[in-house]
Amino acid sequence: MAFDYDLFVIGAGSGGVRAARIASSHGARVAVAEEYRVGGTCVIRGCVPKKLLVYGSHFAEDLADAQRFGWNTTGATFDWPTLRDNVASEVDRLEGLYGQTLGNAKVEIFRQRAVIAGPNLVRLADGTEVSAANILIATGAWPSIPDIPGAEFGITSNEVFHLQQLPKRAVIAGAGYIANEFAGIFNELGVEVTLVTRGDKMLRSYDQEIVEKLVGISREKGIDIRFNFKCPAIRQQADGSFMVESGDGADVETDLVLFAIGRVPKTKDLGLEALGVALDKDGAVIVDEYNRTNVAGVFAVGDVTNRVQLTPVAIREGHAFADTVFGKNPRTIDYGAIPTAVFSNPPIAGVGLTEEEARATLGDVKVYKSDFRAMKNVLAGRNERALYKMIVDGKTDKVVGLHLIGPDSAEILQAAAIAVKAGLTKQAFDDTVALHPSMAEELVLMK
């Protein structure tokens, strides 16, 4: 049977764009459909604009610290529309580059919604139907909204980048990286922040000693963190503000409610169920190690599979898919020792096993720590301390985990993650000469 395309990709995010580009480089005829903007969550409404807001918010502390370094910053002010609009302009620029990349790769772009209409068949929003030998689902994930009265009064990370003005007060609901990052951003920009979660912990996948350090520092910076906050309802008040109910009488009055309670795979109404594509209880597309679904010719990569919701992982999955299907080079992804970071204030970063995981799986574990104050903080008169942890297998001396909280943790961890991935030993760290004076030198000085 002759098909219109060798590959049709639904979703032009990081995974979909990489898959389309690489498949085309292997000689495939490729098309991509995107219902919103090319670039996906990361570029348009996720890690890129959020990291720019993180940079912008850090100037609050930097300007205050600068005075101890001899700089006169009297009269410095902040203007939200300037930051918001400049970030939006950068997003526009990046979207253009993504579209240009697809164009240069001779990938046809349909800027409209697409769904699966049958075996090897895709229907576009304008009614056009096209056939494809292979269909790749790369639609990503979408913010969750709680099923409570008044949920319509809240916003998500999709809308937060477009606020007309900063609120005086904000309640952020969530315990993950998005909640903690926006708590830090808003707090530094002068917003009175209350961070609430239904559970008794933040950032469950991270080393809990590091997380406890973040919670303590966040509270010292003025963020009101409340655990076991049930939030049964939200009420709008006569003056336009909101009352976020706690379930125990400790309600919070606020001007903005931001939901950051997780993200669910975006598979609704894509035609997957009708075709018989298997989904899990959360709506994620179930795939094997080669990104194949249970239906021949249908594949999925990225957040829509709910394996690891990270942009670099989606990119690798998309690349491996294209090499496997069109490049005659079957490849799978190794999901072990993936470095991750939370761009909170201060940031945390980790790779490998946490102390809790290592003790549960290895038994014989050695933990090395360095609790110190960064040189810059010392001169600035800031008492904020950093904490680095190294988790070592007691039997083999291999470093199986690294976990950091402190300035530039993510930048420092990237190189160190190579050592964990490579299975280097604690002795290898000890044998490495320290780069002095730096925070990173603490990684080779722990005893």
CA 402 to chain centre: 19
Listed by start position, the domains of the chain span 5-143+264-326, 151-261, 346-444
- When pLDDT is averaged across residues 238-253 and rounded to a whole number, the result is 95
Please list, residue by residue across 219-251, b when 16 or more beta carbons sit within 10 angstroms of its beta carbon and e when fewer do.
eebebebeeebebeebeeeeeeebbbbbeeeeb
Q: Using an 8 Å Cβ cutoff, are 264 and 283 in contact?
A: yes
* Residue spans of alpha helices (H) in 281-390: 311-326, 355-361, 375-380
Q: If pLDDT is split at 50, 70 and 90, which confidence band does 235 have?
A: very high
Calculate the CA dihedral of residues 307, 310, 313, 318 and round it to 10 degrees: 90
Q: Decide: pTM greater than 0.75.
A: yes
Residue labelled with tokens 């008040």: 237
Distance CA 268, CA 65 (A): 49
Average pLDDT, the chain: 97
pLDDT given for residue 340 in this prediction: 97
Closest by CA position to 244, among listed 159, 158, 174? 174
What are the tens digits of pLDDT across the range 142-194?
999 999 999 999 999 999 999 999 999 999 999 999 999 999 999 999 999 99
> Residue 286 carries which DSSP code?
P
Rounded Cα gap, residues 30 and 159, in angstroms: 32
Return the pLDDT at 409.
97
| pLDDT, average across residues 116-145 | 97
**H or E segment to which residue 366 belongs:** strand 365-372
> If we measure between CA atoms, which residue out of 105, 111, 106 comes closest to residue 39?
111
Which DSSP string corresponds to 84-120?
HHHHHHHHHHHHHHHHHHHHHTT-EEE-S-EEEEETT
pLDDT (0 to 100) of residue 1: 66
As a whole-number percent, the residues of the chain with pLDDT over 90 amount to: 99
Q: How far is CA 255 from the centre of its chain?
A: 26
Of 432, 399, 435, residue with least CA distance to 417: 399
Class assignment of domain 151-261?
A: alpha beta
Q: Are strands 242-244 and 234-236 parallel, antiparallel or unpaired?
A: antiparallel
Q: Which residues contact 69 (CB under 8 A, 6 or more apart)?
A: 379, 380
C-alpha distance from residue 438 to each of 19, 376, 386, 424 (Å) = 39, 10, 13, 22
Superfamily of domain 5-143+264-326: FAD/NAD(P)-binding domain (3.50.50.60)
pLDDT bin (cut points 50, 70, 90) of residue 384 is very high
Mean pLDDT throughout 385-409?
Answer: 98
* H or E, element range at 224: strand 224-226
Of 94, 54, 47, 45, which is closest to residue 313 (Cα–Cα)? 47
Structure tokens at 96: 């253009």
Cis peptide before 81 (omega within 30 of 0): no
> Which SS3 state, helix, strand or coil, does residue 151 take?
helix
Q: Do domains 5-143+264-326 and 151-261 have the same CATH topology?
A: yes
Beta bridge partners of 155: 258
CA distance 44 to 50: 10
Q: Taking the CB of residue 34, how many other CB atoms lie within 10 A of it?
A: 26
Q: Please write the tens of the pLDDT for every residue from 347-371.
A: 999 999 999 999 999 989 999 999 9
pLDDT digits (tens, 9 = 90+) for 31-83: 999 999 999 999 999 999 999 999 999 999 999 999 999 999 999 999 999 99
pLDDT digits (tens, 9 = 90+) for 288-309: 999 999 999 999 999 999 999 9
Architecture, CATH, for domain 346-444: 2-Layer Sandwich (3.30)
Where in 199-289 does DSSP place strands (E)? 224-226, 234-236, 242-244, 252-254, 256-259, 263-265
307 and 289 Cβ atoms separated by less than 8 Å: no
> CB of 43 within 8 A of CB of 14?
yes
User: Which token pair is 415?
Assistant: 């190189």
436 is catalytic: yes
**Under 8 Å between Cβ of 176 and 205:** no
Report the percentage of the chain scoring pLDDT > 70.
100
